[in-house]
Structure 1
Amino acid sequence: MILSTDSFEKIIENLHDGLYFVDQDLVITYWNKAAERISGYSSQEIVGTLCTDSALINVDSEGNYIRTCPLAVAMDDGKMHESELYLRHKKGHRIPVNIKVSPLTDDNDCVVGASALIADISNQAANTLKLKELEKLALLDNLTQLGNRNFIDKEIKERLCEFKRKGTPFGILFFDIDNFKRVNDTYGHDVGDKVLKFVADTLSSSSRPFDFYGRWGGEEFIGIIRNIEQPGLEQLGCRLRRIIESSHVLEGDNKIRVTISIGATVVNITDTEKTLIKRADTLLYQSKDSGRNCITVG
């Protein structure tokens, strides 16, 4: 059976994963529906632009900008490459993706462009199940779609019981958006809400299926990180801080950037819900006193 050109086009247009092509000059020539869904950018907005444009600049797991287009690397060495990166969604938050890039050649084996296949690895299915459960229990924060304070209280109590029963460790990350009042005062509360949503989306999309993030109140968030010790908790907090620092929310022509301060602590055998939260909160304010945009572990 030989498929027609139209059939091939329908197949790639309806792939579950994002797919795009560039020519020899790194100009994007194709952007499928899944790429639109994952990135938030339409084909009309992307086709004809360079893959090195700011809209498509990725960051690595440490929050560092990747200035070299992965497709350019594949075109230079003629090899396929695979990596996990954080793609900036049009709304501003970062999405963890797996990207596979391959050179494209003509009949004479000359490189004429490259392709990229993008898979969203942000645990969307697991997060959808979490949301449904939270909605049923009326534990959802309406703005951010994260668990609210009641949910956080419930989850910490359950994790404490598990720790005392089985010895399963867990940690708390207490986040606060730095100088958030300045955002509200400068741009208005509607934009402030967008910033809160973008931070919440970044935390949620970067989580493992068995970790939870909730909005404690105002511009404060709490992460409950299961089965982790202090070094891993600090590493995770640093990565999230860098990812948020390297991202922005677009409001007209303005790129609104924020940073976060973090207090991080791991449960110990004498902890109650109150002592655990208080210790994380104290560490958070040590980060604030140290100049903000940092993490304090204790």
Structure 2
Amino acid sequence: MEMTDEQKLFLMKRILDNISDGVFCVDLEKRIFYWNYAAEKITGYTEEEMIGKVCDDTSFRHMEHTNNCAVICPVAEAMADEKIHIKPVYVRGCNGEIIEIVVNAYPIVIDGNIVGAVEIFAQKSMVEFYEPAEKLEIKKLRDPATDFPDRSYISYYIESKIQEKRHFENPFIVTFIKINNLDNLIARNNKTIGDEIIKALGDQIKKRSRQSDLIGRWDRNTLVGVFASAGEENGLMLKRELYNQCMKVNVIYSNRNINIDISVGLAFGKNDDILPRIIKRAEKSLHDGNKER
């Protein structure tokens, strides 16, 4: 079955929205009509802030060593000479920080006429040191005691799922699994018992999880799981399943079986979500569950 032009356009946008490089497009007036998610992650400027703005009038002006956009503007150069321009530049992020990026600017040509330009950019450090930096980042974003993704990694992942929900209606659930009696267990045993319990619970949950799901350590006594979902019924089933899986875990410490008490809370992703909002709902569900016990 051949795709329609509308389907091809949707597929192209979906691809651009999910690549790691920043991408934005401008018309002949340098008015921005497309701004992808990676551009937001690199600079901090959201799609809502940038669409419809002339790039010269935004804080995202390209600098060499000055604040004058006219000094160095690859998209203007690409439209002027119909050539590809590749160069390092500096831009100001949304918090005022200076970010060094490598820019690839291309003219957009339709029926032989220049109608705009597209710019693809990445942070210079990522371009020059991509593989080692990636490995270092992975190490930094893991809990050292369990090797599970840590709070920062989980946060990045949830933010990516929010974008998928917003743009593609991909449903997901955030779950919190808390060990309620961890302080008492540590007091009676040893502080390392907390790491052992978290590791055992996480390993048990991962056995029944899909590759696209995420299990990580949120804090000292809490795991977070991020799962694909098809609706609220799936969420309730998942909550019961997670609880049952955790209660099956047999933790032995100093030749004694350790009894653990857990609670599970969850929140469904919404199109208008931001990270703090969905975390707050999941934590509220967790605390409400404790009250019901």
Query: Scaled by the length of structure 2, what TM-score is found?
Result: 0.51
Give the alignment partner of residue 166 of structure 1, picking from 165, 168, 173.
Answer: 168
Tell me how many residue pairs correspond in the alignment: 160
**Residues in 2 aligned to 1:139 and 1:277: alpha-carbon distance in whole angstroms:** 19
Give the alignment partner of residue 157 of structure 1, picking from 153, 156, 159.
Answer: 159
**Residues in 2 aligned to 1:277 and 1:207: alpha-carbon distance in whole angstroms:** 21
Q: Which structure 2 segments of 5+ residues have no match?
A: 1-133
Give the alignment partner of residue 231 of structure 2, picking from 212, 229, 232.
Answer: 229
Q: How does 1:1-298 map to 2 (within 5 A)?
A: 136=138, 138-291=140-293
Q: Residue 289 of structure 1: CA displacement?
A: 1.4
Distance verdict in 2 for CA 1:134–1:145, change over 3 Å: farther
Which has more radius of gyration? 2
**Residues in 1 aligned to 2:139 and 2:252: alpha-carbon distance in whole angstroms:** 34
CA contact (8 A) 1:171 1:267 kept: yes
**Residues in 1 aligned to 2:271 and 2:163: alpha-carbon distance in whole angstroms:** 11
State the Cα deviation string for residues 237-288 of structure 1 (Å, max 9, x = none): 2112112112221123310121320111211222211110001101100111
Q: Which structure 1 segments of 5+ residues have no match?
A: 1-131, 292-298
Query: Scaled by the length of structure 1, what TM-score is found?
Result: 0.51
**Residues in 2 aligned to 1:243 and 1:227: alpha-carbon distance in whole angstroms:** 18
For the aligned residues, what is the CA RMSD?
Answer: 1.9
CA contact (8 A) 1:241 1:260 kept: yes
Q: Residue 153 of structure 1: CA displacement?
A: 0.9
**Residues in 2 aligned to 1:136 and 1:152: alpha-carbon distance in whole angstroms:** 12
**Residues in 2 aligned to 1:193 and 1:232: alpha-carbon distance in whole angstroms:** 29
**Residues in 1 aligned to 2:148 and 2:229: alpha-carbon distance in whole angstroms:** 21
Distance verdict in 2 for CA 1:268–1:144, change over 3 Å: same
Distance verdict in 2 for CA 1:138–1:185, change over 3 Å: same
**Residues in 2 aligned to 1:281 and 1:147: alpha-carbon distance in whole angstroms:** 19
Query: Share of identical aligned residues, percent?
Result: 24
Q: Residue 135 of structure 1: CA displacement?
A: 6.3
Q: Residue 181 of structure 1: CA displacement?
A: 0.5
* DSSP-derived class of the 2:165 partner: helix
CA contact (8 A) 1:216 1:222 kept: yes
Amino acid at match of 2:210: R
**Residues in 1 aligned to 2:214 and 2:166: alpha-carbon distance in whole angstroms:** 19
Distance verdict in 2 for CA 1:274–1:181, change over 3 Å: same
